[in-house]
Amino acid sequence: MAIIKPFNGLRPKEDLAAKVAARPYDVLSSEEAKAAAAGNPYSFYHVSKSEIDLPEGTDTHSQPVYDKAAENLRRFVDEGTLFLDPQAAYYIYKLVMNERAQTGLVCVSAISDYNNGIIKKHEFTRPDKELDRINHIKTTKAQTGNVFLAYNDVPEVNALIDQWQENNQPVYDFTAEDGIQHTIWVVNTPSAIESITSLFAEKVPATYIADGHHRAASASLVQAALSKEGKITSVENPANYFLTTIFPASQLAILDYNRVVKDLNGLSKEELLSRLDYDFTVEDVGHLPQQPAMLHEFSMYLEGRWYRLVAKEGTYTTDPIGILDVTILSNNILDKILGIKDQRTDKRIDFVGGIRGLGELVKRVDSGEMKVAFAMYPVTIQQLFDIADSGEVMPPKSTWFEPKLRDGLITHII
């Protein structure tokens, strides 16, 4: 069963929360972070993307970047921008996007649960990205990036969280520049803390990583390194836990994660359409963008026109991985026709989160940067759970969760 704990969160003064809050470090470039932080000395990008405070051209994975992050985090504390809660607490984090709300519990989860498979994964991680977060955690002595977890709904947990929101005032409530509302409550009474901890220990057999595989893996590797060095002498050491926010599955929405490809692997437009006809029914639907409306349906944008592709029977299997649209696309188009064997390393392919819309696909192709784009129907949360339960992993860039948690609102000091 899931082991979670309250913790002393490092968080901003109430009047600075909106200025501190920053999008996750891995969803924007250094240039975008620098522009977003311009004129805002409180922005958490000074910690999560600290290269913005160093000379242009600085290697973003070099030690000076991590040292600058630690320096800026200390400055935020010294100046009073951030403070450490005097007692351990849970935190309720509600996000509202386009009138749809999702509410999660901010806590620390046991790294032993991650290592033992109680916290389930659905993606491989890359050593270079792990090393980046390892260095950031070890240098700052903090977990600044939140791992987004999901669990099958427990009515008693949902009811307790709803009741706390109704009976208590939030410590933060603001709408960010992208229109997403962020509201946070502190749960600090002993009875509520004990109830939440017990409910997860009794009724939540597993949690699932929705977003943040590299952050979770890095926290585990840091804990292992510190333990080997003899720096962890108690099971209560904060490094034995990592920062998570856990959401009930019923409240979550997964967006599509689409692909753009630089060339047609030597094929003409006509040859590509002919090859596609073996495994898909192909329909020219004109110049207007068309979002896929069901599983196994794809939209392709090529030379100014959209095509509807529907996978024929026999092009996929019914196992948890084989039935995924990302698998169908990967096996029957990207690999079989376009010669892209490894989407993690092939420089001919790029990925576009569904939050950017189909217009971004058109832009990338019409600019000449890319030759063809593919839009997919989103993976369902149940598909994600089924794959994680089976011990399998999804193809890369299969899911895009939105809205995303903001960095800087709650940090875990280790």
Select from 148, 350, 117, 121 the least CA-distant residue to 242: 148
Where is pLDDT greater, at 261 or 380?
Answer: 261
* Structural contact between residues 360 and 352, judged by C-beta atoms closer than 8 angstroms: yes
Q: How far is the C-alpha of 146 from the C-alpha of 306, rounded, in Å?
A: 38
**What pLDDT is stored for residue 320 in this prediction?**
82
Look at residue 258 and tell me whether its pLDDT is greater than 90.
Answer: yes
Q: Where in the chain is the domain with CATH 3.30.1760?
A: 257-377
CA 259 remoteness from chain centre: 18
pLDDT per position as a tens digit, 330-364: 999 999 999 999 887 888 999 998 778 899 999 99
Q: Which helix (H) or strand (E) holds 143?
A: strand 142-143
Average pLDDT over the chain reads 93
What is the third-level CATH fold of 257-377?
Answer: 3.30.1760
- The pTM of this model reads 0.85
* Structural contact between residues 363 and 244, judged by C-beta atoms closer than 8 angstroms: no
Look at residue 395 and tell me whether its pLDDT is greater than 80.
Answer: no
**What pLDDT is stored for residue 392 in this prediction?**
83
Q: With bands split at pLDDT 50, 70 and 90, how would you rate the model's confidence at 147? A: very high
* Structural contact between residues 244 and 120, judged by C-beta atoms closer than 8 angstroms: no
Percent of the chain with pLDDT over 70: 100
**What pLDDT is stored for residue 62 in this prediction?**
95
**What pLDDT is stored for residue 141 in this prediction?**
97
Stretch 96-121: mean pLDDT, rounded?
A: 95
- Contact partners, residue 95, CB within 8 Å, separation at least 6: 101, 102, 103, 180, 181, 182, 183, 403, 405
**What pLDDT is stored for residue 123 in this prediction?**
82
Q: Is 118 helix (H, G, I), strand (E, B) or coil?
A: coil
Looking at 120-124, 151-155, 217-221, 296-300, which range is the least confident one?
A: 120-124
Look at residue 379 and tell me whether its pLDDT is greater than 90.
Answer: no
Q: How far is the C-alpha of 276 from the C-alpha of 266, rounded, in Å?
A: 15
Look at residue 201 and tell me whether its pLDDT is greater than 90.
Answer: yes
